[in-house]
Amino acid sequence: MDQRSKAASTSRSPPRVADEHVVVLDFGSQYAQLIARRVREQHVYCEIVRHDISPAALRARKPRGIILSGGPSSVYEAGAPHCDPEIFRLGVPVLGICYGMQLACEALGGKVSSAPTREYGRARISITAHDGLFAGLPDHTEVWMSHGDQVASVSSDFVPLARTCTCPIAAVRHNSLPVFGLQFHPEVTHTPLGSTVLRNFLIDICGCRGAWRLGDFARETIEEIRATVGDARVICGLSGGVDSSVTAALLYQAIGSQLSCILVDNGLLRKNEREGIAHEFGDHFKTDLHIVDAEDVFLAALDGITEPQEKRRRIGHAFIDCFKVEAQKIKGVEFLAQGTLYPDVIESGAAPDGPAATIKLHHNVGGLPAELGFKLIEPLRDLFKDEVRRLGLELGVPEEIVWRHPFPGPGLAVRCLGAITKDRLNVLREADAIVVEEIKSAGLYRQTAQAFAVLLPVSSVGVMGDARTFDNVVAVRCVDTTDFMTADWTHLPYELLGRISTRIINEVKGVNRVAYDISSKPPATIEWE
């Protein structure tokens, strides 16, 4: 395999300052990716790896710091996830958070037990030592706790740093090893000074300089793409979303006219989506744009299918078939570019050292098989959504594209619960357009992270005029989030919700009831399927 093929057939190495790389060992925490985001906000590159990564593999990565995430288990349970204790003796600073602190303390001679009083939510800690982790913090500060177990005792090698009224050991440091622990969660916004604690760990304890920047990422990635691609042609699948749009913009800056874009119109797009993509990438970016009419193909593939994962699988296969036919019409193609993001890689279990659990199938993560004959380029696979938006602005992508709400790869199929038909999709498409129009009119589109309609597989009794109806129910979903790992439902004004409901019922034939989803993530996901 020549050097170019080798570079393209594997995941790109993230551009980073070598001595400023931090890893998070994931023990199943819902906040693991949030920890990585908070570290990157301090301009230190960070990625997530499996909790059982070997000390040798960690040593080879040469991290400046190691963070042990929280997790849902108890460290004393049979089968609970652990890490190799040698990790604490690598000479690399280690910060254990919640479960991670308990694990570190137990591995180094302490005892963990079920707490007499569990702590969930806000708590007030008293800091007893202000050097290191707590430099610059007041004697008392609010933190966010989420634990039923706690460190009951530590060996004489540990020094307690903070306490609460019910948790006498809320933070610790080791006397001779660079090992630190926090029972609370510094990564969540409910810990107001959490970013200061993390910065103290990264800068003062790990010795990082905070040199990682998205501008450097763009420049290095463009250079890498040029070196990898040479004079070959690259094709990029477009969906109209920010991920594929920023991918295309990055590629266009790197290789210009060597880029061809393909939009597969699968009949699952939002209202006027196809026309908008044609304008943005035909007129704005002046790319070689190919549009495939494939609605009938996808509807046939989805006929009678109601199970969400099977929908995703069939959509993925149909997409591959349609994409392959169109791609073969373009001469000189050697590379395929996709807008895969870091959460996609993690949640699909695709990261070689990442958490293994698959939350949902992402049809764009390694979804195009080897028989297509293309080498894969995924220039955004190391970035989170908010980083992609910032990168898009740096690349000159129009704000209306950058700030467009996310849209799932399988499109309206996973928002049309139950059977997929053209009529049901049209109902959903019209209702969804009303939701977005009204939120934009209220000036709240940029303040919300994602808003859309969901067509439910149930019918509801209603009265329109003097007649009884038995029609569809539409749910409206609107969430607030910065990283899409956790999300809260948006508290939209009642007047706005009323306008949305009235318009959908009056203007969309076949709907007689509208509900508003007030679930957070977790335990719910943002999408319904």
Whether 430 and 495 map to the same domain: the answer is: yes
- Domain endpoint, select from 205, 236, 266: 205
Whether 68 and 154 map to the same domain: the answer is: yes
- pLDDT one-digit tens code per residue, 344-361: 777 655 445 544 343 344
Q: Is residue 2 part of a domain?
A: no
**Per-residue pLDDT averaged across 430-444, rounded?**
97
Q: Is residue 428 part of a domain?
A: yes
Whether 200 and 276 map to the same domain: the answer is: no
Cis link prior to 178 (omega < 30° from 0)? no
Whether 124 and 195 map to the same domain: the answer is: yes
Q: Is this model's pTM higher than 0.85 or not?
A: no
Whether 231 and 355 map to the same domain: the answer is: yes
Whether 150 and 44 map to the same domain: the answer is: yes
Instruction: Cite the active site residues.
Output: 98, 185, 187
Whether 273 and 422 map to the same domain: the answer is: no
Give 299-304's long-range contacts (Cβ < 8 A, gap of 24+). 299/267, 299/420, 299/421, 299/422, 302/413, 302/420, 303/420, 304/419
- Range name among 85-94, 220-229, 235-244 with the lowest pLDDT average: 235-244
Give the CATH number for residue 498.
Answer: 3.30.300.10
Whether 300 and 356 map to the same domain: the answer is: yes
Whether 191 and 310 map to the same domain: the answer is: no
Q: Which domain holds residue 431?
A: 415-516
pLDDT at 453 over 90: yes
CB 202 within 8 A of CB 381: no
User: pLDDT band at 19, cuts 50/70/90?
Assistant: low
Phi-psi region of 207 (alpha: psi -120 to 50; beta: other; left: phi over 0): left
Report the distance separating Cα 217 and Cα 201, nearest Å. 24
- Domain endpoint, select from 375, 402, 429: 402
Cis link prior to 138 (omega < 30° from 0)? no
Whether 39 and 186 map to the same domain: the answer is: yes
Q: Is residue 1 part of a domain?
A: no
Give the CATH number for residue 40.
Answer: 3.40.50.880
Give me the percent of the chain exceeding a pLDDT of 90.
62
What does the pLDDT read at residue 484?
75
Q: Is residue 489 part of a domain?
A: yes
Whether 313 and 435 map to the same domain: the answer is: no
Report the distance separating Cα 525 and Cα 510, nearest Å. 27
- Domains contained in the chain, number: 3
What does the pLDDT read at residue 283?
67
Q: Is residue 46 part of a domain?
A: yes
Q: Is residue 10 part of a domain?
A: no
**Per-residue pLDDT averaged across 72-87, rounded?**
92
Whether 372 and 389 map to the same domain: the answer is: yes
List beta partners, residue 375: 335
